Structure 1
Amino acid sequence: MKRNATAVWNGSLKEGAGKLTTQSTTLQNTQYSFKSRFEEGIGTNPEELVAAAHAGCFTMQLSAFIGETGAEIESIETRCDINLVEGTIISSHLTVNAKVKEISNETFQELVTKAEKNCPISKLLNTEISTTATLV
């Protein structure tokens, strides 16, 4: 399986602007710019997209691992915070809140750690990854 996205940039770094389009067209000519990345401009940015990818991938992986136990998942919500410092992503932190029936907190925490290490986006990122998980 292969997926793709296309970025088109026009102009200089600070005054220019770009558009992102994904294969699925979920993003279609979605704007991004220096201001949306480093200041408070309108549009998306690469770090926000990495955060979305990591949160989504991790959540699906955790769901798969919980499903293998036979526990019933009501919901899993994951927030991903990407930390960009001096041009380098130095960490990705996942904050998880899950409602799962018939699972102990110990088992849940073990599966969170397993998902953190095994989701494909975690494997792709060459950075510190941490998780805070709450079973509610």
Structure 2
Amino acid sequence: MKIEIKNKIDLDGQIEMIHEEHDVTVTEKNDWLYLIYQNEDAEKVVIKCQNQEMVMTRFGQPNTIMRFVNGAYALASVPTPMGLQQLVTLTKSFDRSENSLRVTYDLLPNEEAHQVFASYTLQISWS
């Protein structure tokens, strides 16, 4: 199977588009769907999702862990040039169908922040 990932990033009005395709293993276990693949840096990536929640883990140096819960704040551990940062995602929409997932979210320094680092539209499909 193949996974296709499209990510539209809005950073202060500057738009960046990311597009990736990889071989993927798809597994279901205890009401969770697991999508497992290796990215272009040969790092293992696991996307674990249910109907209104997703956790994306990239096993690198250091690991990246991002959690998304529809309509809620969730923690994200993201490596940056300043070291590993504990940030927050605010998921605005979460739409899962049989072979695709679409998540729109903001990345913020914390739940009280009014300044958004960036806004994202993440589309994942597999077949």
Which has the greater radius of gyration? 1
Judging by fraction of residues, say which structure has more strand.
Answer: 2
In the superposition, the TM-score normalised over structure 1's length comes to 0.28
Higher helix proportion (structure 1 or 2): 1
| Larger relative contact order, structure 1 or 2 (CA cutoff 8 Å, min sep 6) | 2
When normalised by structure 2's length, the TM-score is 0.29
